[in-house]
Amino acid sequence: MSIIVENLTKKYGEQKAVNDISFEIKTGEVVGFLGPNGAGKSTTMKIITCFMAPSSGDVRLDGSSIHSDPELIKKKMGYLPENNPLYLDMPIVDYLRFSAEVQGVEKSVIPSRIGEMIDKCGLDREKHKNINELSKGYRQRVGLAQAMIHDPEILILDEPTTGLDPNQIVEIRKLIKDIGKEKTVILSSHILSEVEATCDRILIINRGRIVADGTSDTLRSQSQGQELLKISIEADPEKVESAILALGTVEKVTGVEGKHGWFNVQSKPDMSSRKEIFDLCVKNKWYLMEMTGLETRLEDVFQKLTK
Amino acid sequence: MGKIWIITRRELASFFDSLIAYVLIALFLLLSGIFTWLASTNVFFIGQATMQVFFSIAFWSLFFFIPAITMRMIAEENRAGTIELLTTKAVSDSQIVWGKFLACLILVAVALFATLPYYVTISQLGNIDDGAVIGGYIGLLLLSASYISIGLFASSITQNQIVAFLLALAVGILFQLIFDVLGNSVRGAIGETLSYLSMSVHFESISRGVVDSRDLVYFASIIVLGTLLSQMMLSKRNWQS
């Protein structure tokens, strides 16, 4: 049950919102679409969910194509659109029943499915209310519940945590992570920490193109390339600096501003200086107070790629 | 059909959960009741056991009420964005349109059904032409179906319910009145065509109890055209610019 997206392009007039995107998502993956606003994340999702047809290209799922069997594909997908539109005048349970019926869930299992969704999404205390009486966080849960009511194989969530408070964000993320254990999930976000916390794989999209694809670790190391260490040595700083620079593995040493005895050490590509620095300290009887590897933050990767 | 009925049921529940259904039915009964029984041209004044008074009142009141029923059907979904959620579920655009169409028609049918006591009462007063009564009700249903389909189309091209309402009235008035007036004042083939387009000509012939295929074709064409155009507007998101 993998989703194959092939050469997807969507034009709005002259502008290409999605420009020749191709990728494949395997069963059970939790994939995050990351990108600045207007990058084409939502448009890609709208095409995958058969809301709108692409200008060219195809999305295939299990051999069915969005062009020939949209009903079949729609049945296998659960979708939570951006801003979570719901029929506000309906009671939660009625709305879930309606969603189940439209998605073709068998009549006899609908009540148990509704019960399951109410449990899973934590709606039990609110289940007798109308949707317009719910807070934003609970509406988001209803949105998730209606997307999952027919037990779809793929869940597509467009910015599932926008507008929620920090506690709600944590809860929704936890929910998505739980769901991701059994299902294929595609979610979009422009919040990096969110994608990093929930997704196995990240696709960075910018101006309608995929500019990076991989786990958060591979993305980091790709953009980083060289090891960066932050060290603190108790000794004469000038001696230390020249001694470290003399090591064969080190490319650059800079003192940390305002902090006596601290240095940033950049190694040459594909080399590590950790052991060399330790040995150096032992030889000169310096005290090594601290040595930390500095990781490139995903923010830096993102900014570099989407500028 | 199953999917259409699911959509219809939701729309009906929404009519009856909000006050829309009750207000409309009450207003419709009030208006037609006043004119049938109390106004100066009432049944007693005519002195015949006939429902023509009611039918000619309903002919106009439905014309005004139906756009009020149809205006929110698609426009509101466009505005709230729920249309995205609905169209990405396993239903086709035509099922959505027909489901909504059927819900409106059932609401109108309920309102018409509520006027059956009029028939019962009048039939006690004298000899009533049952054929004409049946024809009249069928005529009203066909007329309603036509205006519903026009109303749905008006609702499908906008996000604004008021625009949808006014547009439905504007298109409706052509069939209700303007084609009729023009048809009477223009001679020749153009005049005849215009007269054929007029709703009242076909409604009157059916409500006399005469069901002619020309009339049926007329109503069916408006219904099919209106729902097809609504479907097209709904599928507009797929069009390539």
- pLDDT tens digits for range A270-294: 778 888 888 888 888 888 888 887 7
CA-to-CA separations, A7 to A55, A68, A157, A210, A299, in angstroms, rounded: 10, 17, 22, 11, 28
Q: Which residues of A touch B89 (CB under 8 A)?
A: 74, 99, 102-103
What pTM value is reported for the model?
Answer: 0.86
Q: Tokens representing A62?
A: 């299990």
Contact B84 A46 (CB under 8 A): yes
Among A152-156, A250-254, B25-29, the range scoring the smallest mean pLDDT is: A250-254
Residue A224 confidence (pLDDT) above 70: no
DSSP letter string, B11-24 = HHHHHHHSSHHHHH
> Which is more confident, B150 or A183?
B150
Q: How many alpha carbons lie under 13 Å from residue B112 in its C-beta half-sphere?
A: 27
**Residue-level pLDDT at A1:** 66
- Of B14, B85, B90, which is closest to A89 when you measure between CB atoms? B14
Q: Do A49 and B88 touch (CB under 8 A)?
A: yes
CA A236/CA A238 separation, integer angstroms: 6
Is the pLDDT at A116 greater than 70, yes or no? yes
Closest CA to B4 of B238, B233, B231, B185: B231
pLDDT computed for residue A256 by the predictor: 81
Q: How many CB pairs under 8 A join A and B?
A: 66
pLDDT tens sequence across B153-179:
999 999 999 999 999 999 999 999 999
pLDDT in tens, B60-78: 999 999 999 999 999 999 9
- Taking the CA of residue A80 and the nearest CA in chain B, the distance in Å comes to 8
State how far residue A269 is from chain B, nearest Cα, in angstroms.
Answer: 49
Inform me whether the pLDDT recorded for A147 exceeds 80: yes
Task: Give the model's pLDDT for residue A280.
Answer: 87
Handedness of CA A89, A93, A95, A97 (dihedral sign): negative
- Interface contact flag, B18 A89, Cβ < 8 Å: yes
Contact (CB<8Å) B89/A102: yes
B240: nearest CB among A11, A79, A88: A11
How many C-beta neighbours within 10 Å does residue B238 have?
14
**A44-69 burial code (b ≥16 CB/10 A, e <16):** bbbbbbbbbbbbebbbbbeebebeeb
Mean pLDDT value across residues B42-54:
80
Q: How far is B61 from chain A (nearest CA, A)?
A: 28
For the segment A198-225, the average pLDDT, to the nearest whole number, is: 83
Whether residue A48 has pLDDT greater than 70? yes
What pLDDT is attached to residue B104? 97
User: Does the interface ipTM go beyond 0.95?
Assistant: no
- Residue A81's SS3 state is coil
Residues B241, A88: C-beta atoms closer than 8 Å: no
**Angle ∠(B80,B86,B92) on CA atoms, nearest 5:** 140
pLDDT above 70 covers a percentage of chain B that reads 99
Mean pLDDT over B188-192 rounds to: 88
Q: Which residues share a beta bridge with A21?
A: A8
Could B81 and A81 be called an inter-chain contact, meaning their C-beta atoms sit closer than 8 Å? Answer: yes
Residues of B in contact with A133 (CB under 8 A): none
Provide the pLDDT confidence category of residue B53 given band limits of 50, 70 and 90: confident
Looking at residue B146, its pLDDT comes to 97
Distance CA A10, CA A20 (A): 8
From B79, which residue of chain A is nearest by alpha-carbon distance? A85
Give the chain B residue whose CA is nearest to the CA of A89: B14
